[in-house]
Structure 1
Amino acid sequence: MTATSPSPSALHPAPAAARPDRRPSPRLRLPFHAWHLLLAPLSLLFALPLIWVVLSSAMSDAEINRFPPALWPSGIDLGGYRYVLGNAMFPRWFANSLIVSLVAVVSNLLLGSLGGYAFARMRFAGSRLLLALMLGTMVIPFQLTMIPTFLVMKRLGLIDTLGALIVPSLVTPFAVFLLRQFFLSLPRELEEAAWLDGCSRLRVLFRIVLPLSRPALSTVAVLTFLTTWNDLSWPLIAINHDTQYTLQLGLTTFQGQHHTKWSAVMAGNVVTVLPVLLAFLFAQKSFIQSITSSGLKG
């Protein structure tokens, strides 16, 4: 039997230039994610009311009241801002809101951290029942607690003062619960090492736990500031004198008294929204990190 000789094509393969090019064709690369094509128009849609308020605050009253309404100001008219900051008690209302909001933020960070750490790391009789009762208060509508809270503030002599707005907001169940959940995600080994070095619980909390909990603390601070700053129903009940009005309550009264001065109303809304917007933009990174965080690995 004779061996078959190899074919000429096997001995002399085709040159590389003759082979078909199988490289994939270059695909179009976008400088952004494809989801942005959907999210950008949606974000613009949600931002339209804020854009309209800003543009209207720079219009004159004649332009705002014109029909059909003007979509763009013919010129920059700051008469509404001068009217608000010069002729009304707007600076006093702004200061009242700032005082109430900052005190509420600081107290929630301090008392919420103490309560959250106690529920996360300390075991005492009735701790689970107390935690369940505290969380149960979160589902109670504010309308059911308005009258009891008012009676308590009246007994304390705080009605028609900023204290009536500060005391009910000193600590919230949400702050305690959120910080407790974040403390549970932290490794115990860090605290145990500090205990071996002779640190007390309070020192461990303030020196080790809280520096690692900045995302959660930022979230509590932002949400507390937003809630307190935008609150209208409770100041409407607890405050009677206009010198103690908060910004939201004063703006509502201002709208009722000057319903034709729409440029001033829009300017007041811009001044009211600006601190809230700056607070969120300042803590946006920490806020998102707190929501997406699942604990430390190590």
Structure 2
Amino acid sequence: MIILILLSVLTVLPLWFVITGSFMGSGEFSGNFKTVLNDTTGKVSWPFLPLYPTLRSYIELLLDSPKFFIVFWNSCKQVFPSLLGQLLIAVPAAWSFARFHFKGKRIIFTIYIILMVMPFQVTMVSTYLVLDRIHLLDSHLAIIIPAIFSTFPVFIMVKFFKAIPRSLIEAARIDGAGEWKLFINIGIPMGAGGIISAMILDFLELYNAIEQPLNFIKTTSLWPLTLYLPGISVQKAGISLVASVVMLLPALLLFLYGQKYLEQGIMVTGIKE
């Protein structure tokens, strides 16, 4: 228990630094980090709580920085359409892999898994060339279209759909339910845990994406939040911490809400058939 508590403290400590630092005034912040800001030798000090807490950085970011809301809206325009598209594509695809038998099914699903484990750096050039060919570079669609056809949510949902008892499916068929009714009335409700867990994981991935917008979007007015934070100057490091806290809140709240679904997803995907 002591070891787990110590590991938990080490995990939470950086988050605590960011939150407390966002309430520091510019004078206190520069005093604590003068060795870093001035590129000199010495030690960095960080109090457990700010000595002179202030909301000045929050006011400057939320009221006096319109660009922050532009990039926040850009993140929303890239993330939520991607998730909606994944629901329309990945859920039927996962249901088909889980419940139907067709020629080449195993080969196609193996290709899905290979694409899932490939890092972005491997597919970056090919994706860039395709987006350039269809004239979608430097737009929100350059992020949305590749994300819609992500194979990861299919992999998560297939396990949940396979866990639906076959006897229940057969009983519904005997009662006259067609494939569409089976999918809507049985598949989606009973696979809701997998759908939600896949959407939460994909939200976290898309919301924190850096490489995709950095390579596919050149116009700074279309950049998401992840590219806004590195552009804040060292002199406004306090605002950077506030922006980090604001950016962290949606992901943290969503993670806390969907934690039980994520645990279900981990358990189901870890079961070997």
- Which category of TM-score, normalised to the shorter sequence, fits these structures? 0.7 to 0.9
Give the drift of 1:99: 2.4
Tell me the CA shift for residue 169 of structure 1. Answer: 0.3
Aligned residue in 2 for 1:26: none
Matches within 5 A, 1:237-248: 237-248=215-226
Partner of 1:8: none
CA deviation after TM superposition for structure 1 residue 130, in Å: 0.9
Larger-Rg structure: 1
> Which deviations, in whole Å up to 9, do the C-alpha atoms of 1:120-167 show, x marking residues without a partner?
111111111111111111232211211211121122222111111100
Q: Which residue of 2 aligns with 1:38?
A: 3
2:158 corresponds to 1:172 = no
Which residue number in structure 1 is paired with residue 16 of structure 2? 51
> Alignment identity in percent?
32
Once the two structures are TM-superposed, the CA of residue 293 in structure 1 deviates from its matched residue by 5.0
**Residue of structure 2 equivalent to 1:17:** none
Residue identity opposite 1:62 in structure 2: G
Q: Aligned match of 1:141 in 106, 109, 119?
A: 119
How do 1:46-85 residues align onto structure 2 when only pairs under 5 Å count? 46-67=11-32, 68-71=44-47, 72-85=49-62
Which ranges in structure 1 are unaligned for 5 or more consecutive residues?
1-34
* Residues 175 and 220, structure 1, Cα contact 8 Å, conserved in 2: yes
> Matches of 1:148 and 1:293 in 2, distance apart?
32
Q: How many residues align?
A: 256
* 1:201 is the counterpart of 2:179: yes
Instruction: Give secondary structure in 1 for the equivalent of 2:4.
Output: helix
Counterparts of 2:119 and 2:259 in 1: how far apart (Å)? 29
Q: In 1, are the aligned partners of 2:160 and 2:193 still within 8 Å (CA)?
A: no
Give the Å deviation of 1:241.
1.5
Q: 1:160 & 1:132 partners in 2: Cα distance? A: 32
**Aligned with 1:73: secondary structure?**
coil
What's the TM-score once normalised by structure 2's chain length? 0.88
Q: What residue is the counterpart of 1:21 in the other structure?
A: none
What is the CA distance between 1:88 and its match in structure 2? 4.4
Q: Distance in 2 between matches of 1:289 and 1:264?
A: 37
Alpha-carbon separation, structure 2, partners of 1:292 and 1:144: 29
Alpha-carbon distance in structure 1 between the residues aligned to 2:5 and 2:87 = 35
- Unaligned stretches of 5+ residues in structure 2: 33-43
In structure 2, what is the equivalent of residue 11 of structure 1? none
1:262 aligned residue (231, 237, 242): 237
Residues 108 and 220 in structure 1, CA contact (< 8 A), matched pair in contact too: no
Higher share in helix: 2
TM-score, L = length of structure 1: 0.81
1:1-298 alignment runs, 5 A limit: 35=1, 37-67=2-32, 68-71=44-47, 72-85=49-62, 86-253=64-231, 255=232, 258-293=233-268
SS of equivalent to 1:261: helix
Q: Is the 8 A contact 2:160 2:194 kept in 1?
A: yes
Runs of 4+ with deviation above 3 angstroms: none
* Residue in structure 2 matched with residue 5 of structure 1 by the alignment: none
Q: Distance in 2 between matches of 1:227 and 1:121?
A: 28
Cα deviation, residue 273, structure 1? 0.9
Distance in 2 (CA, whole Å) between partners of 1:241 and 1:57 is: 29
How far apart are the structure 2 equivalents of 1:64 and 1:230?
Answer: 26
